[in-house]
Structure 1
Amino acid sequence: MITRPFNFEAMLRPPSSRFDPVAFVDVAVIGLFFVLLNTQFVLAPGLSVRLPTVAAGTVENALATKVLTLDESEGAALLIFEGRMCTLESFDQILRTRVGEFDADVLLIRADKDVSLELLAKVWQLAAQAGFARTLLAAEPERAIGGGGP
């Protein structure tokens, strides 16, 4: 008793056993940021194109203003031009309605290596009729065997 003359311990409240919502909100917000920052918001359907390979010295560079992606499966041609999927006939209609717009444009054709030469020739012909200044066929340079690259 002499060591505790003022009896302060009797005046103290016992610690609260209630749940603190502020800590819970902090943890929830941090968890939400982790989820949002690690989420891929855009799930864009895509077309996997295996480009043909060419010798590095034969690759020509140009600033392409329009891109056309070609794929062919089971004899059916699939074209993607300006974000729209179309057939060869509808691609022809698009170009016919916009004659004269492509005079200074360069068309980059991304064709899968399994696309037939016949389809490629038809597309080149349509591009020439539409007035494209140039057409380029996208290609990947050959990689050295055992180069360790992807």
Structure 2
Amino acid sequence: MSGFQGDRRKQALLLIAERTALRAGVTLTQIRRHVYSVLLDADAPLGAYDIVKTLDGVGAVAPVTAYRALNCLQELGLIHKIRSTAKYVALTSGPSDLPVAFVVCRECGTTEQIPLDLDPTRLLASAEAHGYGNLDPTIEITGFCQNHQT
């Protein structure tokens, strides 16, 4: 997020993150806030080791530190792990129980969050009827971005 509007949006999302953590009884530690801020600033999804590289001067520079922060932020609904690339992205709409869709370029990994205008209730009910639980209604669609279409 860059520019004045980006800075205002980032500050608003950081404030939402603070409130979300408080409601959940969790502290948004300096490291968690830093990791969330790094993801908000990122132009593309980041891997855990990319995040570890940013921790110097903030806290313990160890992969486990980054993973703990990422897990907490995920549980709070502030970030999402793109399963197909094992990278993380900040949710641009803040925490929500609504389903989210991501489009991921198979060539460069560019990822965009897109609105999902469907009710996943029937799909989730069908998955539960087949014996699945603890469902994540996030949808990932892979393809080729405009720069990598042949």
User: Taking structure 2 as the reference length, what is the TM-score of the superposition?
Assistant: 0.24
| Structure having greater relative contact order (Cα 8 Å, sep ≥ 6) | 1
User: Taking structure 1 as the reference length, what is the TM-score of the superposition?
Assistant: 0.24
Q: Name the one with the larger helix percent.
A: 2
Q: Name the one with the larger strand percent.
A: 1
